[in-house]
Amino acid sequence: MMTLTVEHLKAILESNQFPVIDIRLIRAFAEEHIAGSQSLPFRQEGWAALVRQAITEPSVVLFTDNPRLGTAAKEAWEQAGGTVVAVWDQGLGPWKQLGAATVQVKPVTVDELAHRLEAFSVIDVREPYEWRSGIIPGAKTIPLGTLSERLAELPKDRQHVVVCAHGNRSLTGAAFLAERGYTTFSVLGGMALWLGAGHPIDRWSID
Amino acid sequence: MIWKVIQNPTLGCNSFLIGDEISGQGVVVDPLAQVGVEAYILSAHDLGMQIIEVLETHVHADHVSCALDLTKELSVPYRISRHAPAVFAFTPLADDTRLHYGALAIDVWETPGHTKDSVSLILYDLARGLDPWAVLTGDSLFVGDVGRPDLVDAGETAVRLAALDQYHSIQRLMTLPDWTELWPAHYGSSPCGGIFMNRRPQSTIGYERRFNPFVHMSDPDIFVEETLRYLKPPPEEAESIRTANLTA
């Protein structure tokens, strides 16, 4: 493995040879990430197995903003038999200075959303059993795992707000859409805060 | 609430990662050098928590802290009591202030006695309710015991004054509701406590109100005399460890 300059990183990415795995928290990834990179936040347990499921190539580039995380993830992937082509642990700063492409998801609070509900297309990525607590009026229910199959239903000229139970899965869903050219927001705190604030819901009958 | 206790069973130390699930913001409290900076960084990441600040309940005399190293590595503020005689820069904690990390609120109460720079941190999950959920008492109130008053200055006058401070601090902590979880910095045979300290790392304010012998001493003079009577020999390295924690 070589010590990396940001120009090197760009060259590696442009070669399209190796997947870039962003190991930061999903929150940081959704806020802004390198276009084309994939979010697999590092964990001390079971992370390499998740990478193996998500990625077929054994050689990867790791992206983070913390050298300790970079080292730990590199060791974990190598222990699992993989190869780490490069670790970038200096975050997005130098990458953006280079003028390279990033993708962003903006946060939206439940109050902001309630105030301008008509302005947004709301996508609820929860599982069907979670709809019992009610859904935001007019929201489209698309469980996170089926989002990729239902892109045709989502017009590109609208602002999409993704919501889940607590605001974690919605980050994944929103980042997935943002990566594909959609303007996306993620609801902070999800339905827990929407319901907690007493905003209106449509009751959903499971039968 | 994001919550993880990281312990050193040998020294009987509790340290904490505490945060708000919605914003992912949180703090590390009383990190231990023997556990190491890396463990706190990786654990916070596992919990989905961004470390916003590192807090200490006091300048420790029984173990080396890694709070300063952690704050340097993460470029976040190091927070300790305004009374801490530290020689490095820190962001002071003052009495009756409230810190916010998303829906996690932490009230700072100065609870001197064990040291002049002792604080207790009262935790609230504002997404769930407005009442305290837990209190981190540092070396002020322990499970079954109270923090010893002699590790900073072992002279009799100083120890008596410190013990009197501790009495008032304990009385103040007892104004918290019964259900408040009690999480001290130490448990078991930690040298910072006395002979009554329990091996359980946690209790509640209500349980201590009923069964902690020092809480029952409503007369400050009796509290001071009893504290002095039960003092254990001080740990051998207390002074050098405290100095190390003050100078980094």
DSSP track, B95-162: TTEEEEETTEEEEEEE--SSSTT-EEEEEEETTT-SS--EEEEETSB-SSSB--S-SS--SHHHHHHH
**Which chain B residues are closer than 8 Å to A72 by Cβ?**
38, 42
Report if residue A160 sits inside a domain. Answer: yes
User: For residue A207, what pLDDT is reported?
Assistant: 47
Does residue A169 carry a pLDDT above 70?
yes
Which pLDDT band, with edges at 50, 70 and 90, does A3 fall under? Answer: low
Q: Tens digit of pLDDT for each residue in B77-103?
A: 999 999 999 888 899 999 999 999 999
User: For residue A144, what pLDDT is reported?
Assistant: 96
Report if residue A114 sits inside a domain. Answer: yes
Residue B65 exposure: Cα atoms within 13 Å on the Cβ side: 31
Contact, B73 vs B41, CB < 8 A?
A: yes
Domain end among A66, A81, A103: A103
Does residue B18 carry a pLDDT above 60?
yes
Please provide residue A32's backbone torsions phi and psi, each rounded to the nearest 5 degrees.
Answer: -170, 135
CATH of the domain at A39: 3.40.250.10
**Do A69 and B45 lie within an 8 Å CB cutoff?**
yes
Report if residue A1 sits inside a domain. Answer: no
A112 with A47, same domain?
Answer: no
Nearest neighbour of A72 by CB, restricted to B24, B42, B127: B42
Task: Tell me the domains of chain B and their CATH numbers.
Answer: 2-232 (3.60.15.10)
A76 with A92, same domain?
Answer: yes
**Do B48 and A27 lie within an 8 Å CB cutoff?**
yes
**Residues 110..169 of A with a Cβ closer than 8 Å to B: which?**
166-168
Q: What is the pLDDT averaged over residues B101-111?
A: 97
Q: Tens digit of pLDDT for each residue in A78-111?
A: 999 999 999 999 999 998 888 888 999 999 999 9
Q: Which two tokens stand for residue A175?
A: 């980042």
A60 with A119, same domain?
Answer: no
**Which chain B residues are closer than 8 Å to A188 by Cβ?**
22-23
Domain end among A103, A136, A171: A103
Catalytic positions of A: 164
A97 with A16, same domain?
Answer: yes
Number of structural domains chain A divides into: 2
Report if residue A203 sits inside a domain. Answer: no
The CA distance from B184 to the nearest CA of chain A, in Å, is: 27
**Which chain A residues are closer than 8 Å to B127 by Cβ?**
189, 192-193, 196
**Which chain A residues are closer than 8 Å to B22 by Cβ?**
166-167, 188-189, 192-193
**Residues 17..76 of B with a Cβ closer than 8 Å to A: which?**
21-24, 37-38, 41-43, 45-46, 48, 50, 73
A131 with A81, same domain?
Answer: no
Does residue A1 carry a pLDDT above 80?
no
User: For residue A206, what pLDDT is reported?
Assistant: 52
Contact, A69 vs B41, CB < 8 A?
A: yes
Report if residue A85 sits inside a domain. Answer: yes
Does residue B1 carry a pLDDT above 70?
yes
**Do A196 and B21 lie within an 8 Å CB cutoff?**
no
Report if residue A163 sits inside a domain. Answer: yes
Does residue A139 carry a pLDDT above 70?
yes
User: For residue A205, what pLDDT is reported?
Assistant: 59
**Which chain A residues are closer than 8 Å to B41 by Cβ?**
66, 68-69
Q: Which two tokens stand for residue A178?
A: 């943002």
Whether B241 and chain A come into contact, CB under 8 Å, resolves to no
Q: Which two tokens stand for residue A128?
A: 């069907």
**Do B41 and A69 lie within an 8 Å CB cutoff?**
yes
**Do B41 and A66 lie within an 8 Å CB cutoff?**
yes
A120 with A98, same domain?
Answer: no
A81 with A111, same domain?
Answer: no
The CA distance from A69 to the nearest CA of chain B, in Å, is: 7
**Which chain A residues are closer than 8 Å to B73 by Cβ?**
68
CA neighbor of A65 nearest in space, from A106, A107, A105, A93: A93
Nearest neighbour of A166 by CB, restricted to B21, B46, B73: B21
What is the Cα–Cα distance from B153 to B133, expressed in whole angstroms? 34
Domain end among A80, A103, A126: A103
Does residue A26 carry a pLDDT above 90?
yes
Nearest neighbour of A167 by CB, restricted to B22, B50, B73: B22
Please provide residue A117's backbone torsions phi and psi, each rounded to the nearest 5 degrees.
Answer: -55, -40
A63 with A111, same domain?
Answer: no
**Which chain A residues are closer than 8 Å to B42 by Cβ?**
42, 44, 68-69, 72
Report if residue A167 sits inside a domain. Answer: yes
A123 with A182, same domain?
Answer: yes
Does residue A9 carry a pLDDT above 70?
yes
Q: What is the pLDDT averaged over residues B63-70?
A: 92
Report if residue A152 sits inside a domain. Answer: yes
Nearest neighbour of A25 by CB, restricted to B38, B45, B73: B45
The CA distance from B48 to the nearest CA of chain A, in Å, is: 6
**Residues 121..150 of B with a Cβ closer than 8 Å to A: which?**
127
Does residue B179 carry a pLDDT above 60?
yes
Q: Looking at residue B232, what DSSP letter applies?
A: P
CA neighbor of B190 nearest in space, from B15, B3, B23: B15
A180 with A166, same domain?
Answer: yes
Cβ neighbours for B37, distance < 8 A, ≥ 6 positions apart:
A68, B31, B66, B69, B70, B73
What is the Cα–Cα distance from B154 to B233, expressed in whole angstroms? 11
Domain, as residue range, for A54: 6-103
Q: What is the pLDDT averaged over residues A158-163?
A: 97
A78 with A94, same domain?
Answer: yes
**Do B127 and A25 lie within an 8 Å CB cutoff?**
no
Contact, A144 vs A128, CB < 8 A?
A: no
A52 with A136, same domain?
Answer: no
